[in-house]
Structure 1
Amino acid sequence: MPTSSQNTGKRASIGNNSRPSSKDGPKKNIWSSMLDSSATAKRLPEKNLLILGGTPESQREFLETFAADTSDSGISNEKRKAKLPPVANQFALGYTYLDVLDADQEDTLARVSAYLLSEPSLSFAPLLKPLLTPQSIPETLVVILLEWSDPWTWARRLREWVRLLRHVLISLDDETKIVMEANMTEWRNHKRGMDVTSAGSQVPSSGRPVTLPLGPGEWDEGLGIPLCVVCQGADKMDKLERDHGWHEEEFDFIVQFVRTLLVKHGASLIYTTPFHANSLQSLIHSSLGIHSLLKRQSFRNNTIDRDKILVPANWDSWAKIRLIQGGFDMEGISTAWSIEIQDPPEPLSNGYDGASTEDSGADDGMSAVVIYEQTIIDPKRDTSLAHAGSQQGRNKIEVETSDMQGFLNKQLEVLEQLKMEDEKDRSTKKGPQQEMAPVENSPEVNEHIGPVQFNMGGIQVDADDMLRKLKEREAGRSQRKEPASTPGEEKAHNQALANFFAGLVKKPGGSPRGSPSV
């Protein structure tokens, strides 16, 4: 039978096990761990968009297209703009953010931080470098914006942006470069060895992953970050065709040239039109690894419709590019591009303002940019050179039209100037010797005017006949020399009547005061 001391020891042992004392170890903060786990579960995936090129307005246009709610076509453009967060992109490196919603517009799939830069200047390189870290590189996509308002600048703009990116990426630390290399290897092998379905999605062609060998010119200038080139304002292609005489050859050359460059970087290409449905959102989401939980997004490559071009990454090849039109030197352009992008970026203002077509990195004439700019010429520069006689043999005549009000204002100024010159000529030619002679001394004028008649008291009177009779009467009286009146008074009376009727003759159609005219 246990003693009381043993029972006491057992109770003490039980008490010690049920209520550990502070000597057993530090207390755990249960609430902190619960909050941390909840925050981790609800933490949104963060993606980065590095948007290069364009103007502040065209950058906003891109963001509006990217953030547009494609599921509800009834939403007006003003409401879509109102949903966008404020964009700060007027100076240096701009910033905004976008929340990507699922198909039901309720669940947030990711938050996209957008960094915007308009000029490829080396002075902005220190602003880009902090954005590229081992953690951010796998979640980053570079977007280069081009505008159909000036397609003759595309080659030079692309070159300067690629030069700036290479300059920034080469300056990163070794740890970041290792992550960058792994990211490029994964991106290059991503979706290779796949078959494209009719819906645009891709599925493995076999049960095991297959990696196809790279073709010529593919991925030989990988940047380390996925790249997408967006050509905005494809609706302006009709204006180029209408106002500047462009044909399918110019548009085919542009798309061949750009695709030849982008296949070297493993980049994608898309043409967009404002306020028209396109696959920009699906392409960007796929490149960033954002996938809907409710609806599978897909897009179809398009190389047929000239204003709806869409070339996904890892899809293009030289064999597909050759199908557009023959005679395109892909090998020469590809080789020249690899040489040109090694140099640091240059100011864009010196490249396409018409001052010179020479390129500093193309002493041997093998410059991809020069080849492009000699084929796709700025219409304004082409007109000036044609007037200078340096574009002999070209049949194009470019005319810059002005608006209707401007044209009418210029014509009014011309008419006013001509009117002043006419008045000046009349005033200089008019003199006392050229004054109009009396009607009675101008037979030519009298012949054109005809007899001058007027109505006096209901009687039709011929002024010329009356003047002739007065002169005859005066002559007869002077011969008779009647004593009833003095010669001076008679002569003055007759002279007054003669002057009166002579005045009527000088003013055709005139009538005496108080008498009705015919």
Structure 2
Amino acid sequence: MNKSVLAQSTTEINTDDHLWSNLLNGVSRIKKAPSKYILLLGGGNRNAREWISSLKQAAIGVHTGRSFKENKEEIDSTYLMDYTYIEWMDQDQGERLAVIEVYLISERHVSCESLLLELFTQEFLKNCLICILLDWRNPWKWLEELYSWINLIRKSIENFKSLEAGNRVISDIIATWEHKIRTYSENAPWVSHDTNRNDQVAVPLEIGQYDQPLGLPFICVCNHSEHMLSIEKDELLKDEHFDFIQQFLRTILMKHGGALYYTSDLYPNTLNNLLYSILDCFSFSPQIYMDVNSPPKANVIDGNQIFVPPGWDSWGKIRIIRDGFDVERVAKAWDADLNFNTDKNKTLNSKKIFEEMIADCRKNDIFDISETNDFVTTIPYQEFLLNHLNIIETKLEAQENVPEDRINIANAYVASPQLNVGGIKLNAEEVDEKLKKLRDTRSESNSPVLTPEKCYKSPLKAISPLPAKEQNEVLANFFQSLLNRKKAGE
């Protein structure tokens, strides 16, 4: 090969390598937008998708100033898990500042546990926030829903801890979240989680605070708080009931290090407060992403705009809402329920306490036929179909095994068609035989036979009548057969 050609080829290769290295170095200098994850549980399929759409529009509104009701995005629904994301953009530079990926499991399913086991990785859990969504249109079922989802989280975390390095990852997450709770200060400016822990003042945990950690940061959102007015108007619940529900939820959430938020599209500040807390949980500076200088104040007075950030609550603050609430009894009942997962026939202790105060008046409805207060355990879908298939096959076998003699007996007893002419019962088959004999008799003669078919097809003048003697014999025989039939019937 020519040396000049070889040298030229080598130069081109070196130039290409230099070009790619420059491109890769340039891309590596670009700051990658950090990704965080929200696992949204509950709320029902439609309600969960509508709520996350409102939250996305609220995130857009903090930058553009638009109302979050404008151009509400529709999230496609799938069989079990939905997916979307919330992004914060730099309007000046047009760059993406941060991305929060949202995974939605709106309804409990038999395969949820295995699905979460696939979803839970070290990277996912280190940057994940659990959000349980409740709906004010059905507050009577909140305790069942809360227990079901929390129990699912606990089982999924235990499954992850059995994997290699799983226990260490969960322990680090619990320690980080506990530090956040202990260093919470309502009046202090926002402080990054990356700040040296020695520079922050950590207070001891309150009684009943974070003594049952789930293993992940946890918040609870009660959506459609505007329905509290209609519930009160219909006299289903009163002020003391709303206070009891708030106290009950706060007692449970305190034990798991959770936070409580009431949200509604009619109160945009509720979504903004929630966004602030979400950014704070992910160590995103709210000053940058929301352009706020101070954190929002906790609110437990405005009944439909409750805002309890993580680390703020205590038993004393819960008791002061309304006298008579036994916070210690509720906490012990919830502990007993969490340690009791095997006997599905026993009613939960916390549920008894909840229903003593929050009775579902809708049970008097004629359409409500439920007679048990126990939790309903759903049958797996495939098991239900298998049972139904067995029932169908049993019915088909019973039909195929009918004895042939029964079928023959049934056919033998099929009655011949009967006629009634002038009060005289006639057998249609016998009449037909008589008419055939008449036709045969006439066919023997050369005279045309008078039949209904020929009456319509031939003109009357073409028909020649029978002789008088033969005609009389035919008529006499016919009426004689009728009389004989009548006598036989008598």
TM range (shorter): 0.5 to 0.7
Contact 1:121 1:164 survives alignment (8 Å): no
Provide closer, same or farther for how the CA distance between residues 380 and 189 of structure 1 changes in structure 2, counting only shifts above 3 A: same
2:165 match: secondary structure: helix
**1:11-26 pair list within 5 angstroms:** none
- 1:47 aligned partner: 36
1:328-386 CA distance string (max 9 Å, x none): 1211211221221245599xxxxxxxxxxxx7344xxx700221123212221156799
Offset, 1:253 = 0.1
54, 61, 75: which one aligns with 2:66: 75
Provide closer, same or farther for how the CA distance between residues 34 and 303 of structure 1 changes in structure 2, counting only shifts above 3 A: farther
1:97 match: secondary structure: strand
344, 349, 362: which one aligns with 1:367: 349
- 2:176 aligned partner: 186
Q: Out of 124-133 and 98-107, give the one that drifted further.
A: 98-107
- 1:257 aligned partner: 248
* Structure-1 separation of matches of 2:173 and 2:279: 17
> 1:237 and 2:234 equivalent?
no
Offset, 1:71 = 3.1
Contact 2:250 2:318 survives alignment (8 Å): yes
Q: How high is the TM-score relative to the length of structure 1?
A: 0.60
* Structure-2 separation of matches of 1:97 and 1:315: 28
Provide closer, same or farther for how the CA distance between residues 104 and 342 of structure 1 changes in structure 2, counting only shifts above 3 A: farther
- 2:215 aligned partner: 224
Q: Aligned residues, how many?
A: 345
> 1:282 and 2:288 equivalent?
no
* Structure-2 separation of matches of 1:285 and 1:241: 34
288, 295, 301: which one aligns with 1:293: 288
Provide closer, same or farther for how the CA distance between residues 369 and 277 of structure 1 changes in structure 2, counting only shifts above 3 A: same
Contact 1:49 1:112 survives alignment (8 Å): yes
Contact 2:45 2:107 survives alignment (8 Å): no
1:150-194 CA distance string (max 9 Å, x none): 111111110000011111110011413311210111111126345
Provide closer, same or farther for how the CA distance between residues 78 and 233 of structure 1 changes in structure 2, counting only shifts above 3 A: closer
Contact 1:144 1:228 survives alignment (8 Å): yes
* Structure-1 separation of matches of 2:76 and 2:132: 18
* Structure-2 separation of matches of 1:164 and 1:267: 16
Q: How high is the TM-score relative to the length of structure 2?
A: 0.63
Provide closer, same or farther for how the CA distance between residues 186 and 33 of structure 1 changes in structure 2, counting only shifts above 3 A: farther
Offset, 1:101 = 2.6
Offset, 1:31 = 4.2
**1:204-215 pair list within 5 angstroms:** 208-215=199-206
Offset, 1:213 = 1.4
Contact 1:122 1:164 survives alignment (8 Å): no
* Structure-1 separation of matches of 2:93 and 2:70: 15
1:161 match: secondary structure: helix
> 1:379 and 2:374 equivalent?
no
**1:53-452 pair list within 5 angstroms:** 53-68=42-57, 69-71=60-62, 75=66, 79-81=70-72, 84=73, 87-102=75-90, 106-172=94-160, 173-190=163-180, 192-197=182-187, 201=190, 208-278=199-269, 279-291=273-285, 292-293=287-288, 295-296=291-292, 298-342=295-339, 360-362=345-347, 367-382=349-364
Provide closer, same or farther for how the CA distance between residues 103 and 320 of structure 1 changes in structure 2, counting only shifts above 3 A: farther
* Structure-2 separation of matches of 1:334 and 1:178: 28
Q: In structure 1, give the amino acid aligned to 2:280.
A: S
Provide closer, same or farther for how the CA distance between residues 127 and 150 of structure 1 changes in structure 2, counting only shifts above 3 A: same
Provide closer, same or farther for how the CA distance between residues 123 and 106 of structure 1 changes in structure 2, counting only shifts above 3 A: same
1:420-473 CA distance string (max 9 Å, x none): xxxxxxxxxxxxxxxxxxxxxxxxxxxxxxxxxxxxxxxxxxxxxxxxxxxxxx
Offset, 1:62 = 1.7
* Structure-1 separation of matches of 2:369 and 2:113: 41
> Which has the greater radius of gyration?
1
* Structure-2 separation of matches of 1:227 and 1:387: 35
* Structure-1 separation of matches of 2:39 and 2:94: 26
Q: In structure 1, give the amino acid aligned to 2:44.
A: T
* Structure-1 separation of matches of 2:307 and 2:143: 19
1:80 match: secondary structure: coil
Q: Which runs of 5+ in 1 are unaligned?
A: 1-21, 347-358, 389-518
1:136 match: secondary structure: helix
Q: In structure 2, give the amino acid aligned to 1:139.
A: N
* Structure-1 separation of matches of 2:143 and 2:178: 24
Provide closer, same or farther for how the CA distance between residues 96 and 310 of structure 1 changes in structure 2, counting only shifts above 3 A: same
* Structure-2 separation of matches of 1:56 and 1:288: 26
Q: In structure 2, give the amino acid aligned to 1:181.
A: S
Q: Out of 325-334 and 99-108, give the one that drifted further.
A: 99-108
Q: Which runs of 5+ in 2 are unaligned?
A: 1-9, 371-490
Provide closer, same or farther for how the CA distance between residues 46 and 255 of structure 1 changes in structure 2, counting only shifts above 3 A: same
Q: In structure 2, give the amino acid aligned to 1:164.
A: L
* Structure-2 separation of matches of 1:262 and 1:220: 11
Q: Out of 300-309 and 370-379, give the one that drifted further.
A: 370-379
* Structure-2 separation of matches of 1:287 and 1:190: 9
Offset, 1:210 = 2.5
Provide closer, same or farther for how the CA distance between residues 382 and 188 of structure 1 changes in structure 2, counting only shifts above 3 A: farther
Offset, 1:35 = 3.6
Provide closer, same or farther for how the CA distance between residues 72 and 55 of structure 1 changes in structure 2, counting only shifts above 3 A: same
* Structure-1 separation of matches of 2:17 and 2:201: 50
